[in-house]
Amino acid sequence: MSGKVSYLQWMLQVLKNSVELGGFPEEVYHILSKPERVLMVSIPVRMDNGKIVVFEGYRVQHNSALGPYKGGIRFHPEVDLETDMALALGMTLKNSLNGLPYGGGKGAVKVDPKKLSQTELERLSRGYARAIAPLIGDLEDIPAPDVGTNPQIMAWMVDEYSKLKGRNVPGVFTAKPPELWGNPVRLYSTGFGTAVAAKVAAEKYLGRFEGLTVSVHGFGNVGQYAAYYAAKWGAKVVAVSDTSGTVYDPNGIDVELAMKVKESTGKVINYPRGEKLDPDASLYVDCDVLMPSAIENVIRADNVHKVKAKVISEGANGPTTPEAEKVLYERGAVIVPDIAANAGGVVMSYLEWVENLQWYWWSEEETLSRIKTLMENNIKRLIAKYESLRSEKGPVTMRNAAFVLAVERVYKAMKLRGWI
């Protein structure tokens, strides 16, 4: 996947393969290969030096068969419309796979947010919210953060949209700060969900989760909470890593201590015990379960022979290349794909949206219980589909099953609506 066009083409190829593997009519591909609506906007922003800079932005609304559009907003200097279209298609499939009442959408502004002051970033955020306001709403299209955006930006956007409407509309954006109708569980929901996915898969394919050895590659927000809940549920976390290096201890790592070390020093390698190895060593240590939670393409054809884990739960987006995935499956490993394993974030966004529509809030404990139930059911349904496809079609991956399951639900909705 090099270049923006190739990413869209790759997504379309995945879609085409899924339609063929699932035996769906060809028109399903033709409909889903193009978004229902695309909005391009220009956002003039007065900079701190008094000059006006015009930023380019998009909102892609891909498919609404299952419900309102849902997907993040990305602030990044290299985004373009084709990338946004590919990401919106991905959100249609992700929302469908995870049983959510959403279609897919995605938004972006071509900007490096690190180069803006806080006041410039606020003006840009509010400008983007105004520009896309005619097409979004708590029952029409519900954006959320993505790369380069955060809860503060969502707060500015929900405030700007509410001003336009003349009333508070909390449900139009999700992953907001808790003080503005957000839910504190959103902070760690993706890592929590990644651990849930690992646990369900391990119980199915390794017979248990408690007592198994776990390694976590990437010790940012997702990796920290994936490790924390894996340990809490009885697994032994033997390795964690960030860009500073890997901490390896076959006797088990105190995850809460590692989190405190990371927070206070910025580097997990400063953890006081264990063996210190290079950053990628967490991918290769002797373990039962691996949770790659950093960046894409870390397990590749050139290093897959060193990966020993039997169950892999993808906390990051695209950590395993197709070539490496093929090798792992031939070896007997199982990969819970990113589209399912890291869905805790969008599941939590759904719960926050439901809270906002009702003006009602669940406790942190009840929210976690709801995410856990939804994620467990989704992963079990995916495993059942994987086993079914494997018996019918021969060698397939759980990723194949995930995309077939996702397309199947959208197809049934479009068919019932009379679109097909």
Q: Catalytic positions, please?
A: 106
CA distances from 415 to 16, 156, 179 (A): 18, 39, 41
User: What is the CA angle 264-229-101, rounded to 5?
Assistant: 115
CA 264 from chain center: how many Å? 27
407 CB-side CA count, 13 A? 28
Please report, for residues 100, 203, 233, 286, 337, the alpha-carbon distance to residue 207 in angstroms, rounded to integers and kept in the order given. Answer: 29, 5, 15, 18, 20
Record the tokens describing residue 5, joined without a space.
């066009």
Dihedral sign, Cα of residue 6, residue 8, residue 13, residue 14:
positive
The Cα–Cα gap between 68 and 103 comes to 6
C-alpha span between 50 and 53 (Å, rounded)? 10
* Four-CA torsion 260, 262, 263, 266, nearest 10 degrees: 150
Both tokens of 324, joined, read 């490496």
Residue 319 CB partners (closer than 8 Å, separation 6+): 217, 292, 293, 294, 295, 296, 297, 298, 299, 338
In whole angstroms, give the CA distance from residue 194 to residue 190: 6
Angle CA 325–330–335, to nearest 5: 40
The CA radius of gyration of the chain, in Å to the nearest whole number, is 21
Query: What sign does the dihedral 17-22-27-28 (CA atoms) show?
Result: negative
At 275, list the tokens.
Answer: 């063996």
